[in-house]
Amino acid sequence: MTQVHPTAILSPQTELDTDVVIGPYVVTRGHVRLGQGCRVDSHAVLGSEHGRLEMGEGNYVHSGAVVGGAPQDLKYNEEPTSLIVGGNNIFRECVTVNIGTESGGGVTRIGNNNLLMAYVHVAHDCELGNHIVVANTTNFAGHVKVEDHVRIGGVCSFNQFITIGRYSYIAGDSAVNKDILPFTIAQGKYAVSRATNKIGLERAGFSKSEIENIHRAVRFVLMGERTKEEFLEKILEDCEPSDSISHLLQFIRNSTRGIAK
């Protein structure tokens, strides 16, 4: 049964599915839709006057979070843009997530089963995938893409228009201004990929042979003075074909900001 605390203030456009729990002093603004089993703790603010927030099932928004607020972009002129959130995400205390901008495609997206710890900021037009963990006080500028199964330490900063590759690990207190290669550990100011994320891949269930295959490909990129064309050719020649290798090759080919190495 859905429960709404009597002190909550919900906009007329708010839609609540079954078993939603709205705590004390929660405020919703504009078009807000919460899926089945969502929980919103006290003093959280959802949505904005001109935007649309859609959240799937089982999300948990903790106290003081502001999810679906207007972009911090001077070009934003109250266009009707959106934040689309999947299911089973956790937004801890004072997390802020902004809706998209018209010039950036109009949508900020967050997938499923993610944990954003306290004071994380996700700016307009970002795209976060699935099974991501982001530690406290990390900030994403606009238009950042984070692929699936990424782990990010606390107090990290991410420049606009960069991509963080799947199964990568970003060490705490890093500043990232280029694309982070999938399956790697990155660290520094500015961060560079320093090694294959072998422990993370092992924990994720990758076979030993595939981890070594990925490691071989990563070394071709990070070690030596090869050009992009040269290390792509080495990966094709010396690594066993697999979904991971295909993704790595495609990631490198699609990089516009350059690989952090």
* CATH number assigned to the domain comprising residue 87: 2.160.10.10
What is the reported pLDDT for 126?
A: 98
Q: Is 120 among the domain residues?
A: yes
What is the reported pLDDT for 90?
A: 99
Helix axes 228-238, 243-254, angle to 10 degrees: 170
Residues 227 and 104 in one domain: no
Nearest 10 degrees: CA dihedral of 18, 19, 23, 26?
Answer: -20
| Six-digit token string for 36 | 């089945």
**Residue 143 annotated in active site:** no
| Six-digit token string for 233 | 């050719």
Give me Rg for the CA atoms of the chain.
Answer: 20
**Of all residues in the chain, what percent are helix, strand and coil, respectively (each to 5)?**
20, 35, 50
What is the reported pLDDT for 216?
A: 98
**Against a cut of 0.95, is the pTM above it?**
yes
**Residue 37 annotated in active site:** no
List of the chain residues with pLDDT < 50: none
What is the reported pLDDT for 2?
A: 96
- Cα–Cα distances in angstroms (integers) from residue 226 to residues 222, 230, 232, 238, 240, in the given order: 9, 6, 9, 15, 20
Q: Is 29 among the domain residues?
A: yes
Nearest to residue 85, comparing CAs of 50, 43, 143, 126? 126
CA distance 242 to 257: 25
Containing 94, the helix (H) or strand (E) segment is none
CA distance 151 to 75: 32
What is the reported pLDDT for 108?
A: 98
What is the reported pLDDT for 41?
A: 98
- The domain tally of the chain equals 2
What is the reported pLDDT for 6?
A: 98
What b/e sequence results for 120-154 when a residue is b if at least 16 CB atoms lie within 10 Å of its CB, and e otherwise? Answer: bbbbbbbbbbbbbbbbbbbbbbbbbbbbbbbbbbb
Containing 147, the helix (H) or strand (E) segment is none
Catalytic residue among 62, 121, 124, 143: 124
What is the reported pLDDT for 30?
A: 98
Residue 116, classed as helix, strand or coil, is strand
Residues 137 and 228 in one domain: no
Catalytic residue among 23, 64, 69, 125: 125
Q: Judge whether 38 and 60 are in contact, CB under 8 Å.
A: yes
Q: Is 112 among the domain residues?
A: yes
Q: Is 172 among the domain residues?
A: no
**Residue 249: which domain range?**
201-254
Q: Which of 126, 143, 160 is the last residue of a domain?
A: 143
What is the reported pLDDT for 151?
A: 98
**Residue 247 annotated in active site:** no
Residues 129 and 24 in one domain: yes
Nearest to residue 58, comparing CAs of 19, 22, 30? 19
**All residues at 6 or more sequence positions from 67 whose CB lies less than 8 Å from its CB, including other chains:** 44, 45, 46, 47, 53, 55, 61, 83, 85, 91, 95, 96, 97
Catalytic residue among 86, 142, 165, 200: 142
Q: Is 184 among the domain residues?
A: no
